[in-house]
Amino acid sequence: MSVEQIKLYLSSLDFPWDMNQLPTSAYLVGGSVRDALLQRYKTPLDLDFVLPENTISTAKDIANFYGVGFVILDKEREIARVVFPQGTLDFARQEGDSLVTDLKRRDFTINAIAYNVSSQQLIDPFDGVADLEQRVLRMISPTNLEDDPLRLLRAYRQAAQLDFNIESNTRKAICDRANLLSTIAPERVQAELNYIFTTSQGNKWLAAAQEDGLLQFWLPNIDTDKIKQLDRVENAIEVCSNLGLNQPELSILSKLATLVSTDEVAAEAEVARLKYSRSEIKAVAKTVKHLPCLQIMTNQISLREQYFWFLDVKDIFPILMVRAIATGVSLDLLNPLIERYLNPEDLVAHPQSLVTGNDLIGKLNLKPSPMIGTLLTEIQIAQIESKISTPQEALDFALFLLHINT
């Protein structure tokens, strides 16, 4: 790994900006240098620079020159961002009296490398390049981990993303400080977990994090058996994707639903504590609630039962199917349900009303009441059972129901 690799990386970026506009004192730092040395391309692009002075004015001048966005992220620490359509440039004032002092405060050696674009000089005071070549994460110091305890979990996330190992002394230091993760804002913990959930090596490093005691505070019902399910969840996600079952954040929500409590209320509380959105909390809790019914199902349920079941689970159907397949529910039992869900014309999974409540009120001279909702439900079920198929038949059926109930 060398300067030539960084030059090649920077020259190949699809970014409408001339780096020669940087002050000669500016250094590319952190993950940006690491990714350049690994030839790891990400979109959108995110480059980080450190300057000893004039940070905000430098960023503002670049933004003005190209007519792109400019944001001050931290006025006191002089951190600013330039926002291009292709990605962002972050500029931060150097902390301490030298660049090495600034690098010394970082988390791992592979993130404590700097590169001067002007002089093409590589600064590597902690042998981060050697650790990159050995594909190992090594702390700079235990104190740095304590300064921001999220770095404890971030080690496992970066190991998963980069397919690296965590150096033994570093892993021991993390284990010894695992309790510090309880002091971190839940939103930050959630972000790290989401990265791990969606990374190809994530299951391996979730298992390591659980073994090392990093997850128990935030996921108190996690255990080894649940961790072992994650590979089956991964396989089930692939099965569902191949069948056409997709949903935003399917991997995240399926894995969360695997690791939380099997009690709906407790599961909801765990996901809420991690500050997931209302819809995400609801999705996980409903998956936990409805999974046991599928696990004990031995025969297809009636059309009436399917109708009510789809009303309850249609919004979480792909997640529920992933969990069901992962826990061993037969595809022979699930396939009829999946076929209904994937067919937008299927009246059981995707009801299409023959009449509305206003139709019943106006044409049958009824008053608004809970009875209207009951009639509409029974009309819908009669339709899926092929007893009726037209609006007039629906009205006649409603009259019949009213007659037998009077």
The per-residue pLDDT for range 177-195, each reduced to its tens digit, is 999 999 999 999 999 999 9
Q: Percent of the chain scored above 70 by pLDDT?
A: 100
Six token digits for residue 371: 């009875």
Q: Which residues of 352-375 are buried (b: 16+ CB within 10 A; e: fewer)?
A: eebbeeebbeeeeebeeeeebeeb
- Name beta bridge partners: 81: 71, 90
Q: Which class is 135-218 in CATH?
A: mainly alpha
Task: Please state the φ and ψ torsions of residue 87, each to the nearest 5 degrees.
Answer: 160, -165
- If pLDDT is split at 50, 70 and 90, which confidence band does 350 have? very high
At 44 the pLDDT is: 86
Using the predicted structure, report yes or no on whether residue 165 has a pLDDT greater than 70.
Answer: yes
Q: Percent of the chain scored above 90 by pLDDT?
A: 92
Query: In Å, what is the CA distance from 314 to each residue of 188, 210, 288?
Result: 30, 32, 14
- If pLDDT is split at 50, 70 and 90, which confidence band does 81 have? very high
- If pLDDT is split at 50, 70 and 90, which confidence band does 15 have? confident
At 351 the pLDDT is: 94
The per-residue pLDDT for range 26-37, each reduced to its tens digit, is 999 999 999 999
* CATH of the structural domain 3-134, one choice from 3.40.50.2000, 3.40.50.720, 3.30.460.10, 3.40.50.2300: 3.30.460.10
Six token digits for residue 327: 């826990």
Task: Please state the φ and ψ torsions of residue 212, each to the nearest 5 degrees.
Answer: -90, 5
Using the predicted structure, report yes or no on whether residue 155 has a pLDDT greater than 80.
Answer: yes
Using the predicted structure, report yes or no on whether residue 105 has a pLDDT greater than 70.
Answer: yes
Using the predicted structure, report yes or no on whether residue 390 has a pLDDT greater than 90.
Answer: yes
- If pLDDT is split at 50, 70 and 90, which confidence band does 2 have? confident
Burial of 111 (0-12, 13-18, 19+ CB in 10 A): buried
What is the mean pLDDT of the segment spanning 357-366? Answer: 93
- Domain spans, the chain: 3-134, 135-218, 222-349, 357-404
- If pLDDT is split at 50, 70 and 90, which confidence band does 16 have? confident
At 310 the pLDDT is: 97
Sheet architecture: strand order including 27-29 = 69-74, 79-84, 87-93, 45-51, 27-29, 114-116, 121-123
At 99 the pLDDT is: 96
At 278 the pLDDT is: 97
Using the predicted structure, report yes or no on whether residue 59 has a pLDDT greater than 80.
Answer: yes
Using the predicted structure, report yes or no on whether residue 403 has a pLDDT greater than 90.
Answer: no
- If pLDDT is split at 50, 70 and 90, which confidence band does 13 have? confident
Mean pLDDT, the chain, rounded, equals 95
Using the predicted structure, report yes or no on whether residue 42 has a pLDDT greater than 90.
Answer: no
52 CA to centre of own chain: 36
The per-residue pLDDT for range 276-314, each reduced to its tens digit, is 999 999 999 999 999 999 999 888 889 999 999 999 999
Using the predicted structure, report yes or no on whether residue 406 has a pLDDT greater than 70.
Answer: no
